[in-house]
Amino acid sequence: MSRANTHGKPSYSASGHQHKKQFGQNFLNNDGIIRQIVNAIHPQPDQHLVEIGPGEAALTTPLVQQVKRLDIIEIDRDLHQPLRNKLGHYPAFALHQADALSFDYAQLVTDNQPLRLVGNLPYNISSPLIFHLLNYLDSIADMHFMLQKEVVERLTATPGHKAFGRLSVMVQYYCEAELLFIVGPQHFDPPPKVDSAIVRLTPRRPLPYQATHLADFAALVKQSFAMKRKTLRNNLKGWLDDADYAACDIDPSLRAEALAVADFVTLANHYTQKQK
């Protein structure tokens, strides 16, 4: 499902900017919702925020007034000058004309202070962006993102729930994930076709269970969900045999969606050990 506009005609913001579908430009139009998001973020004067996709600064304007530093990352060149005009006089503000999917977030850290990431994210890049951000968790204090509600349900799903999948396991291995509230399509210009939701992701420090080889863990999780309706035994054929499952005390006739994150760590660590 995409966050495509509900109609095919071009749409424009009040300032005359033509919304670009390829950049997922559904801009927030409701001050009450914007306040609710800012309250959930609860910015403090000594904090360093990074906003992905500021658009026309609906969230940026209230945030930049409340923090020590706010870096914004915006891919659409047409928005850069209007953003500078609107925000350039705030000492906290710095604009990066960049693609958030390949951005090096660690370079923004100063004085070892972890970053607070925020954004009403373009839905078409939300999963790859979250996977990219998992590489920078040492530099991140927390993240508050608006995403398609369905994606937030996948991020926060518990085992046994139909939304529980690779994204849930990989994100919940590293982060606590909470759905904060749902936002209807009418609060955006143009309105998307689907509901949105705000998620808070907080890196776990320390990690409650540790994969001994992260690449093995990530590969095994991916393979476990390769065919959603197949059992672990079938999806992981050639990786683990029945003796391995017995050693891990995990039933191979289960589907991956029934396993807890800790079970994937157990299986992956066993697999890593077996390769030695």
3-state SS assignment for residue 139: helix
Would you call 181 exposed, middle or buried from its count of C-beta atoms within 10 A (0-12, 13-18, 19+)?
middle
DSSP three-state, residue 188: strand
Name which of 128 and 160 has its Cβ closer to ligand SAM.
Answer: 128
Annotated binding site: 26, 28, 53, 74, 99, 120
**Closer of 181 and 209 to ligand SAM (Cβ):** 181
CB of 139 to ligand SAM, least distance (A): 18
The least CB distance from residue 183 to ligand SAM, in Å, is 10
Q: 156-165: which pairs have CB atoms within 8 A and are 24 or more residues apart?
A: 156/199, 159/257, 159/258, 159/259, 159/260, 160/257, 160/258, 161/257, 162/257, 164/257, 165/225, 165/228, 165/256, 165/257
Of 248, 239, 242, 241, nearest in space to 221 by CA: 239
Which residues of the chain form contacts with ligand SAM (CB under 6 A)?
Answer: 23-28, 52-55, 58-59, 73-76, 99-101, 120, 122, 125
State the distance between the two ends of the chain, measured CA to CA, in whole angstroms: 42
Residues at the annotated binding site for S-adenosyl-L-methionine?
Answer: 26, 28, 53, 74, 99, 120
Q: How far is the CB of 11 from ligand SAM (least distance, A)?
A: 13
In the bound complex, which residue of the shown chain has the CB atom lying closest to ligand SAM? 53
Question: What tokens does 268 get?
Answer: 């992956």
State which residue, 76 or 216, has the beta carbon closest to ligand SAM.
76
Q: How far is the CB of 42 from ligand SAM (least distance, A)?
A: 18
Q: Which is nearer to ligand SAM, 37 or 261 (CB)?
A: 37
Least Å distance between CB 146 and ligand SAM? 7
Q: Identify which of residues 74 and 216 has a Cβ nearer to ligand SAM in the complex.
A: 74
